[in-house]
Every structure is written in C-alpha cells, then in structure tokens.
Structure 1
C-alpha cells in the first residue's frame, strides 16, 4: 500500500482473513465495535486502536456502541457524569480522550489527544478521575475542563498517525477513504489489523437515539445506540 497499490494490499488482507465485508455501514460499525471489545479484553484497551475514515458522527457511533457493549457486559458502573452540550454520559471504567489541552495545577498539562481510563466518578462534584495512558498519572477533570474530554474508544484515522499499537480495527470505505488514510489504518498495528467495510457505504448518526440517559430506569432495557444508525 505504501508503494501505491491499495488494491493489492487489500487483497492481501482479505486473503489473510483481516478484511471483512458487511451488507451495510451500520453492520460494519457493529462488527468493528464487537471485534474491538474482544481484542481489548485480550490485549488491553490501550493496545487496540479503533478507527474510521468517515465522519465525526461515525466516530461518535463507534464510541457509543462500544460503551453500550461494555455496559451490557457489566464492565462499566452506573456512576457517570454527563458531558456538556447534550454530550454522552462518561461512566466509571470508560475510556476518554482529551480534545484540547487541560492545565493541571502543580503538574504538566494534559495534552490534546492523550487517552486514559476513568477510575472514579464523583457524581456529587461532577468530577472524573482519570489514569493517563503511558505515564499512569492520575488527574481530575471537573468544572470548566469537563468539556475537554470525550469518549475515547474510537477516533478518526488521522488522530492515529504516529501511533503504534498491538492490534487495530478500522471501518473503511467511507466517503473520505483515500490511499493515505488506508495506509494509516493498515500500518498502526504491530500484529494483525482488521478492516471492516460496508458493501453499501453511507451512514447517518441520529444523536438523540444514540445517547442513553445517564441513569437509565433499571426496569427498562438500556437503549442500543446502533439502533440510531441508518444507511443513506
């Protein structure tokens, strides 16, 4: 692929069983999210990348789908903080990413793009306590900085440039797919990567259907964010 022949490279991945087709974009998102969760349980969430070369809506759909699967499996707490501007609920156990830098009194600031795991949620103070990847440093996210983080399971392919992980999952074939983005997707993992592609591209994310309430009624089934996706 680096030599300019993505078709040959994709054929290689297909023959190796690492290129998977889904009937629709919605099913490609679901397949990628499920495979990501399985691999992350095996390798650790910090060692598996989940990427898309499509829109921010699809990044959000992937993040919500992974969160939903983990919530169903009992891996996340019901304790949560709702992000501003109708953002999703971030739960104890979730992965987050900084979308802008955050100053930390007496310490180095947290830079844009850093990821970490939420170790504790203080609902009363509306605070997230996060352990940063790499350094293991613990920081608190609260007040005017709460909007500096977002769910951090999935990201756009260009946020993964320069990163190397053990395994990588990519949803590809979107309207932004290019030779360059395909190369980034295919070269992030030291081990095998998996590409999920829809036979019929196009996806809309309906935010109102994707975002479950912070504390859902225990007597009602939790909403499934994948139901908020439709092919266009």
Structure 2
C-alpha cells in the first residue's frame, strides 16, 4: 500500500450545540474548545468530573472518524468517548482509556460513524483544562509515488542585522513540520478534495492533519493548491502543508 495523508477539515463542535457539565468559568469559555487555536485554553476552576456534549441536530449530521484533544492536564484521569442517536442510550466509540501524560491525544475509528450525539467524559480532575476538542470526518488521499512525499522542518526564527552589521536572532517557537505532496485524482477524488477544502473558508482556516509518517498535528495550507490538468481523466494536484503551533 502506498503512502497517504488525511485532512480533518471540520469539527462537529463548531456546527453543533455544545455543553459542558458542572462549573463554568467565564474567563475560559467552552467556545475555546473549538476555535482552532491551540494557544487558547478552556478551563474550569473546580475539582469535578466533566462531560463534553455535542448535539449535531437533525439535519446535516457529519460522519466522525477522529477524536483529538489538545494539550491538557488529563493525565491519570479515566476518559470515555461515546455516541448516541437519542441522547439516552450511549455506546462506546472506542475502549475507555486513561492518559499517561498531559500531551495531546488522538483516537481514530476504523470505520466512519454518523450519529447525532457525541460526548467525551473525564473523571474528576482539579481545574481541568485543554486547548481543543476536535471530533470530525477525515478525507484521506494517496500520495503519488513519483514524485514521492517531501518533508523538512521550517525554522521559526527571524534574523535581524544591526547598523554595525551584527546579526541577532529572535526565536518565536520551535521548528515547524513542512510537507509537500502530489496526488493524482480522478473526477470523484477531485470532488472529495473540493468537499474537504470547502470547510476551510477560502483556505483561511487551519485544520487537523495526519501526515505520511502517521503524525497528527494542526496544519494549514502553505501555498494555494496547484492543479495540473495534464491527463484526460485525472488531475495532478500539488499540496503544501505547514504545521501550526
């Protein structure tokens, strides 16, 4: 099997009705759970269990392939991810788990599931916080073998030269992963790509991303997609992705 990548362009929390059980903190609202900004955190100033609940409504229910939780303090706390069609009977999407570190976490499904209600539960935690909860569909594309995928790390540094000619650097953060892929799409594949990027508001939004190595992170398009109509039934499409910190 060849290499592939996956774009996760839309979070059902953005489109649905979101509620969080228990104590609320106006300084860290629930909207931060789905603002596509890893630097802004949701938080509750309390020690209690939490249920993050989303209702997709009766129309426009999106399939779900992934749960991603951004940086958090959930280490050592039992978690459960479930779905329902009536908000009464709940079924596990994956086996319950307990994170062993406060790092971002990802749970993927082998088959897409389409259900109106989804919830993520967290055992009692002191001042629980996380940067993002992402639940949504994925669009996977095979990478052309030649040219194969290319990758590098992009510096996050600005160099400035003084009047005297001395160079000094300002580092804004760690290096960022950069990926470049070419795909060869037929009419249906191109329609799937167009469907995915339609969620990105004219390429203005970042999205969750799985690269060809199997790593997951926030990314954005680093250049406009380049379409090469050099084949009667297919299109060569060149895509450049850059990690968002």
**TM-score for both structures, normalised by structure 2:** 0.23
Higher relative contact order (CA 8 A, sep 6+): 1
Point out the structure with max Rg over C-alpha: 2
In terms of fraction of residues, the more strand-rich structure is 2
In terms of fraction of residues, the more helix-rich structure is 1
**TM-score for both structures, normalised by structure 1:** 0.24
